[in-house]
Structure 1
Amino acid sequence: MKNLFINVIIIIAFSSCASTNLVHISVLQPAPVTLPPYIKNVVVVNRTEVSKKSKVFNVIDKAVSLESPNLDKEGSQATITGLSDELKKNNRFDEVTLLTNSGLTTDAPGMFPAPLPWDLIEKYCSDNNADALFSLELFDTKSQIDYSVNKTTIKTVLGNVPAIEQQANMHTIVNAGWRIYEVRGKNILDEASINRTITFHARGINPLLAAQALTDRREAVKEVGNVAGHDYAFNIIPLWVRVTRDYYVRGSASFKIATRKARTGNWDGAAKLWQAEVNNPKRKIAGRACYNMAIINEINGDVDSAIQWAQKAYENYNNHLALSYVNILKNRKIDDVILEDQQPR
């Protein structure tokens, strides 16, 4: 993966241990879901429309959970749009097809239904020249409302009159669940859900007026659904994260000079000074120098060399930071293999 997957942010902070500083670096981590390299075209569908036989139960559920009939329908459409838009931004795919009226339904509103039959998946993929199908299998909103009272005044023709103001607070949970169907191998590559909570506040001089003020929240639910779609797309996109590494700043006069070079971003200059100390007759200094050489090699994207230097620091000089660092680097090697599979070809 080399230095394509790691770049250095030159931010140095003192750690609690006086002999080390921290360097912050950016590392590319694999996406939670790996798609086979052959998947170039995908189709996105909405399966959350409730089937006829389940509509009676769904109406009851929506009445109990304080939801309007079309809230889930409009929210789910915004969710598949959000996913489709984010997938189109990713050069992983050649074509992303959004089907706003797929005709698919669910018999299990509010929960994951049984997976789609493979003959139906094959039809949708064949009709849309797709290698995989992203299906929104679940979209559900549930709300809870509570009231509180506050003293206030209202203006009348007789002047300001004391009154009790009712405040209504509604907490709406939006739950969106996805499956990814890979048609060639007939595999379900992922099944996951994303939850978001929206809180609304409204006031009125009686509970009914306060509650009525909360009914127009459709746009907020659509917006949250759209964001949930965007967020799910990141399940298949490698993510840059910031991590910290300790490096030694004390040991000899050369370490002090190297530290000043590192602080200015001159890592190559620092590395030359550390390299000169790896055979220092003082074992502690040599171990620290070997460890720092592991750090600079990771910064430069050479994880294999970093592992070798860290192993030398621990095995030959019993450096106390090196053993855990070896394990970190080995995990990075595993991640690099996964990242190779996740890159478009």
Structure 2
Amino acid sequence: MGISKKTILVSLSCFALAIFLASCSKNVSLTRLMPAEIPVPNHVQRLLLVDRTLPESQGVSIVEGILSGEAPFEVRNAIDATMATIQQELSTSPRYEIIRATERLKGGLFGQVFPKPLSWEQIEYLCEKYQADGVLTLEKFDSDFVITEKKITIKKEVGSGKDARIIEVPGILTEGLASVQAGFRLYDPLTGTLVDQADFGTNNVWTAEAETRTQALALLIDKSLATREVGQMAGASYARRVAPMYVAIRRNYYGKPKDHPALSQGARHAEVDQWEEAIVAWENGLSSVSDPKIQGKFCFNLALAHEVLGDLTTAKSWAGRAYTQFGFKKGRTYARELEQRMMEEELLREQLALPTPN
């Protein structure tokens, strides 16, 4: 039997580590898998992505595009970017095998409300055609790009060489607000249920300034590019809703030699990913110091080391000890974060569990 995608990509206790140094403290960046925002039945393993934004009437869509100022190719590009991002993001998750449908179905382009759901006959046909267990559809899509401007004072360099100087001159600040409204549905044909229906409103602002309006507009992001980028944001947001996704978290730890030589000794081991050796150094340091604040730092570091190694129970114990035994308040906060992580890990196990064979 071959190794499954989940076996290759997921170890709940495995982190990709990158060490960074700051001027006074150190930190470690951990890549971890966050659970999806909503549960999706475990029997949905092969997920089909379908673009359902083909206009019901080409003539009506052209009129609506003119009224909204959206050219057909601009909207289509934004939709393609949204679908491509969903596919890309979901493909990085170990939760599903992703398939993209080649057809584009009629639905809710420029729609303010969701169209009528696809019939279960249509869903079953698509699942049979693509050998999928579930269908995720983009069912409505609308975008907008609004430009505003105001007079400001800008700085300008005049002269050259030794005579160069900065002066203030009247200018124009332009602001482009791109927004996308995207509606998604997730169908489960096995149970005949609509697992999810969600409307995502996403926006972003770009600015540019210059002496004249024409210059400022020339520097502002292109409308088509702006709506594409916001569409990508909407796609990435929805992917996090239905699939566990990798995120980076950063943890600080203590390694200043003036506090205690063992703190910096353990930190040097941590910098080269020798966490077991760091634990030994910090445990030895803890037993040789009487200052409660320094003892709290040792406990805090020990909690971090065990989190990196995947032992969240021991990590939480050390973080709690930093606060309860030595009054180190950051230990209390860290213990709460670890408790939350432990609950998320349990939820993650449930979401990644394989379906029970019939």
Q: Give the TM-score of the pair, scaled to structure 2.
A: 0.68
Q: CA 1:141–1:322 in structure 2 vs 1: closer, same or farther (change >3 Å)?
A: closer
* DSSP 3-state at the match of 2:22: strand
Q: Do the aligned partners of 2:254 and 2:263 also contact (CA within 8 Å) in 1?
A: no
- Report 1:138-217 matches (<5 A): 138-144=140-146, 173-185=179-191, 186-189=193-196, 191-193=198-200, 195=202
Please state whether the residue corresponding to 1:67 is helix, strand or coil: coil
Q: Retained in 1: the 8 A contact 2:108–2:141?
A: no
Q: Name the stretch that deviates more: 242-251 or 106-115.
A: 106-115
**1:83 corresponds to:** 86
Paired position in structure 1 for 2:34:
30
Distance in 1 between residues matched to 2:296 and 2:147, nearest whole Å: 62
In structure 2, do the counterparts of structure 1 residues 257 and 38 end up closer, same or farther at CA, with 3 Å as the change threshold? same
1:164-222 residue CA offsets vs partner (Å, 9 max, x unmatched): xxxx9976544433222233341423524263569799xxxxx9xxx9xxxx9768866
Contact preservation (8 Å) 1:44, 1:99? no
Secondary structure of the equivalent of 2:305? helix
Q: Does 1:335 align with 2:335?
A: no
| Distance change (3 Å), C-alpha of 1:308 and 1:83 | closer
**CA gap 1:239/1:190 in 2 versus in 1, 3 angstroms:** farther
Unaligned ranges ≥5, structure 2: 1-9, 151-173, 209-213
For 2:111, the equivalent position in structure 1 comes to 109
In structure 1, the partner of 2:262 is 254
Match for 2:247: what amino acid? Answer: W
* Equivalent of residue 45 in structure 1, options 39, 45, 50: 50
Q: Are 1:274 and 2:282 an aligned pair? A: yes
TM-superposed CA distance for 1:98, in Å, is: 0.9
Question: Deviation of residue 330 (structure 1)?
Answer: 0.6
Distance 1:246 1:86, change over 3 A: closer
For 2:247 and 2:80, how far apart are their aligned partners in 1?
A: 29
1:164 is matched with: none
TM-score (norm 1): 0.70
Q: Identity rate of aligned residues, in percent?
A: 22
Q: Cα gap change, 1:339/1:192 in structure 2, threshold over 3 Å: closer, same or farther?
A: farther
Structure 2 partner of 1:161: none
Task: State the 1:324 CA deviation.
Answer: 0.9
Give the aligned partner of residue 15 of structure 2: 6
1:136·1:176 contact (CA, 8 Å) conserved in 2? yes
SS across alignment from 1:9? strand
Of 312, 327, 331, which aligns to 1:322? 331
Native 8 Å contact 2:303 2:319 kept in 1: yes
Q: CA deviation at 1:69?
A: 4.6
Further displaced range: 5-14 or 169-178: 169-178
- Any idea what the Cα deviations from partners look like across 1:273-293, whole Å, max 9, x if unmatched? 221244457261444333322
SS of the equivalent of 1:48 reads: strand
- Deviation for aligned residue 1:340: 2.1
Structure 2 match to 1:309: 318
The 1:62/1:294 distance shift into structure 2, 3 A limit, reads: same
Q: How big is the shift at 1:246?
A: 3.1
- Structure 1 residues 218-227 or 132-141, which shifts more? 218-227
- Per-residue CA deviations over 1:240-296 (Å, capped at 9, x if unaligned) read 313122336455443344344445554433321221244457261444333322121
Distance 1:297 1:147, change over 3 A: closer
Within the candidate set 132, 154, 170, 2:134 is matched to 132
Aligned residue in 2 for 1:68: 71
Matches of 2:352 and 2:95, distance apart in 1: 7
Structure 2 residue identity aligned to 1:28: R
SS in structure 2 opposite 1:317?
A: coil
| 1:240 and 2:243 aligned | no
Q: Residues 265, 55 of structure 1: CA spacing in aligned structure 2 closer, same or farther, 3 A cutoff? A: same
Query: Within 1, Cα distance between the matches of 2:225 and 2:341?
Result: 43
Q: Is the contact between residue 297 and residue 328 of structure 2 (CA under 8 Å) also seen in structure 1?
A: yes
- In the alignment, the residues of structure 1 paired with residue 225 and residue 264 of structure 2 have an alpha-carbon distance, to the nearest angstrom, of 58
- Listed one character per residue, the Cα deviations across residues 22-67 of structure 1 (whole Å, up to 9, x for unaligned) are 3222141414444333222222222223335x965x5554332222
In structure 1, give the amino acid aligned to 2:48: V
Contact 1:66–1:144 (8 Å) recurs in 2: no
Query: Distance between the aligned counterparts of 1:294 and 1:82, measured in 2?
Result: 37
Task: Please tell me whether the aligned partners of residues 180 and 191 of structure 1 are also in contact (alpha carbons under 8 angstroms).
Answer: no
Gaps of 5+ in 1: 16-20, 149-167, 202-206
Question: How far did 1:76 drift?
Answer: 3.0
Q: 2:101 matched to 1:98?
A: yes
Distance across 2 between alignment mates of 1:171 and 1:40: 38
CA shift for structure 1 position 232: 4.5
- SS of the residue corresponding to residue 41 of structure 2 reads coil
Q: Deviations over 1:285-331 (max 9, x none)?
A: 44433332212111222111111122222222322221111101111
